[in-house]
Amino acid sequence: MKVYQTNEVRNISLLGGSGTGKTTLVEAMLYESGAIKRKGTVDSKNTVSDYFPVEQEYGYSVFPTVINAEWAGKKLNIIDCPGADDFIGGAITSLAVTDQAVILVNAQYGVEVGTQNHFRYTDKLKKPVIFAVNQLDKEMADFDKTLEQLKESFGSKVTVVQYPVAVGANFNAMIDVLKLKMYRWKPEGGQPEELDIPADEQAKAEELHAALVEAAAENDETLMEKFFENGSLSQEELFEGIHKGLISCGMYPVLCVCSGKSMGVRRLMEFLGNVAPAVTEMPKPVTTQDIEIEPNISGATSLFVFKTSIEPHIGEVFYFKVMSGKLHEGDDLVNISRNGSKERISQIFCVAGQTRTKVEEIVAGDIGAMVKLKDVRTGNTLNAKDVDWEYPQVQYPAPKYRRAVKAVSDGEDEKLGEILNRMHTEDPTWVVERSKELRQTILSGQGEFHLRTLKWRVENNDKIMVQFDEPRIPYRETITKSARADYRHKKQSGGAGQFGEVHLIVEPYQEDVPAKEVYKFGNQEYKISQRDVQEIKLDWGGKLVFINSIVGGSIDSRFMPAILKGIMQRMEQGPLTGSYARDVRVIVYDGKMHPVDSNEISFMLAGRNAFAEAFKNSGPKILEPMYDLDVLVPSDRLGDVMSDLQGRRGMVLGMNSERGFEHLKAKVPLKEVSSYSTALSSLSGGRASFGMKFNAYELCPTDVQDKLIKEYEAQKKEED
């Protein structure tokens, strides 16, 4: 393959909801460019994009797949992204390294939630968007309705470049209002006839052409002046206006394709090569040090590794974008993200799915792959010597579906852990956490479908049977009032004994509320003199404030750390449910010791038990984690979704209309959203989506708390 220069490279994310035909379009593009001799199909499980066994098993894309097609002197790097919302991480990965997006829309169903979700990310990242309306040959296809929905959802920037003469079984021609020509195909598709526009389509074509000219002129003052003077633009000026409109996100061109029959595919590739922006015309990448990096072949060599794939017989394949300079075989680079470890680049490839073409050089702006590296991870930056640039990590949405995972066979848990870590490198939205608190391995992802896909891979590729369970909830325990307790630990067993006695007070800790000087319990007052104060910020949130108020030497200061250790042990396993305790102030004000039998373990046990007793008498409460939910739901399903949220103890915080959908904000306990993704899909027919993030801990309702305490007590009895 020839070495393409930076201005000849176009990097494109291919997006769209499930069933829009992205994988089939990739096949058609590769076929039309001559990269493959025969088109594969999803049903035949022989497409270039979906080559992983799990993708072939289920018939959907799981990972973003890099392909390249050479067309009219340009190199089109296209990343075919999964359509399902559960695999949104693939689209986000792709958009981080591409300069524009083609969003495929199914002409049968119009704008779907997947269209909305993908557009939201392109809009956030300020990436140019081209809409391609696909499957125009299907019986239910309706181009006019789809166009209406696009304009309703994404505004007046949506501009027609092509429209079909007819849809459904009769689709075989479209009008190109940019070139003012009609293209007509034979049943097998491929190279179309270029014809004059028929008389009965002339008026419509001229009206849409005028709208296209006006939309193009709006993106440049000089073109606008020419438009006002002449009432039109030349073909070259029109191309320039659309080009500038794409760069500024000032217009969203709409093209037509029928990927299954290779109709409109050549014209789409021509449009991408001639009109879509080049790497050099887009905003420059910015490092974590706020340095703009010019995609210049004369600059220092710098790569960003955006994807890792683990493939049979090869191992790790690292996909990268050259951000600056040139990469050659044999180059020595420094991994700035891994403490400056050195890597020698032995081989570099241009890729189309699992087909890799060895090349000797890749230049700034281009995308490639490499293998056999020592210490590289997704998100790493590799630079030439003495260059310290580092590119920011790709930001993924928070997980929204959790399951506890373990191997069915106990002896395989360690191996399962290694496999899960490996899979996280392939898809960073699979998140693995070994929770000491919950005593479970928690696997989180974007939905039930997402985790089920991982399970299939582990069981079929790695031959380890796994089990998913409901994850425990990380509750917290705290107190609501002051209480006092004392405890004597005394043990005598022939030799040296054990003796320690601790008297302490506990109370709720609140920021900026100091401890009192006098506490009253019953008819007795306890005066406090603060000799030493320790504020301990707890790993699980909140604080423990430990005050030494011992006077008169009743407990030697050398035993205070042991008392604190005992209290911390009980904080890590709260008295109510075994959950972490938080936001407690503990005042040790008195005690006793023995000149021979007192030791650290005695005071540790005395402190732990005194704390547990005082905690239980201080109005203890259980806190539960609350999450913010952002739900995007079709208007006709809003009532069902709101009723469901209320049944989950959810509180609706706000609602607004957003491009044909209702955007619902709510706060819901984590316990109640364990399987929310599955329920929401069922309620909305798969047309809704949501995101979630941690908000805060709040008090459990009394009935929920009572139930949790009873369950914990029953569990403890069982264990005993």
Q: CA nearest 270: which of 33, 91, 609?
A: 33
- Is residue 719 included in any domain, yes or no? no
CATH code at position 435:
3.30.70.870
Residues 270 and 128 in one domain: yes
Give the number of C-alpha atoms closer than 13 A to the C-alpha of residue 26, restricted to the C-beta side: 32
Q: List, in sequence order, every beta strand (DSSP E) within 558-699.
A: 580-581, 584-592, 621-634, 651-658, 661-669, 689-699
Going from the C-alpha of 439 to that of each of 53, 578, 672, 673, 693, the distances in angstroms are 33, 11, 21, 21, 22
Tokens of 41: 């199909």
Query: Which of 575, 596, 619 is a domain's end point?
Result: 619
Residues 664 and 579 in one domain: no
CATH code at position 64:
3.40.50.300
- Is residue 287 included in any domain, yes or no? no
Residues 428 and 521 in one domain: no
| Full-model pTM | 0.87
CATH code at position 613:
3.30.230.10
Q: List, in sequence order, every beta strand (DSSP E) within 107-202.
A: 129-134, 158-160, 162-164, 173-176, 181-184, 193-195
Tokens of 445: 């992802």
CATH code at position 679:
3.30.70.240
pLDDT for 102 equals 98
CATH code at position 317:
2.40.30.10
Q: Is the dihedral of CA 710, 715, 716, 717 positive or negative?
A: positive
Pairing of strands 9-15, 100-106: parallel
Task: Look up residue 171 and give its DSSP letter.
Answer: -
Radius of gyration of the chain (CA): 32
- Is residue 318 included in any domain, yes or no? yes
Number of domains into which the chain is organized: 5
At residue 593, φ and ψ (nearest 5 deg) are -140, 165
Tokens of 349: 């490839």
For residue 528, give every residue at least 6 positions away whose Cβ sits within 8 Å of its Cβ, in sequence order, or none.
505, 515, 516, 517, 518, 519, 547, 549, 587, 589
Asked if 581 and 478 touch (Cβ cutoff 8 Å), the reply is yes
Structural domain boundaries enclosing 333:
302-383
Residues 160 and 266 in one domain: yes
Residues 361 and 431 in one domain: no
Residues 643 and 588 in one domain: no
Distance CA 152, CA 105 (A): 14
pLDDT for 494 equals 67
- Is residue 416 included in any domain, yes or no? yes
Residues 270 and 324 in one domain: no
At residue 197, φ and ψ (nearest 5 deg) are -70, 130
pLDDT for 258 equals 95
Query: Which of 334, 356, 383 is a domain's end point?
Result: 383
Asked if 627 and 586 touch (Cβ cutoff 8 Å), the reply is no
For residue 439, give every residue at least 6 positions away whose Cβ sits within 8 Å of its Cβ, in sequence order, or none.
472
- Is residue 247 included in any domain, yes or no? yes
Residues 607 and 627 in one domain: no
pLDDT for 717 equals 83
Tokens of 74: 């340009």
Asked if 613 and 470 touch (Cβ cutoff 8 Å), the reply is no
Q: Which parts of the chain register pLDDT below 70?
A: 494, 659-660, 720
- Is residue 389 included in any domain, yes or no? no
pLDDT for 675 equals 86
- Is residue 641 included in any domain, yes or no? yes
Query: Which of 595, 619, 643 is a domain's end point?
Result: 619
- Is residue 311 included in any domain, yes or no? yes
Residues 626 and 645 in one domain: yes
Core vs surface per residue 595-610: b (16+ CB within 10 A) or e: eeebbeebbbbbbbbb
pLDDT for 58 equals 87
Residues 17 and 81 in one domain: yes
Distance CA 549, CA 535 (A): 15
Give me the DSSP letters along 244-291. HHHHTT--EEEEE-BGGGTBSHHHHHHHHHHTSPPGGGSPPPB-TTS-
Distance CA 705, CA 575 (A): 13
Residues 406 and 459 in one domain: yes
Give the number of C-alpha atoms closer than 13 A to the C-alpha of residue 358, restricted to the C-beta side: 5
Residues 71 and 201 in one domain: yes
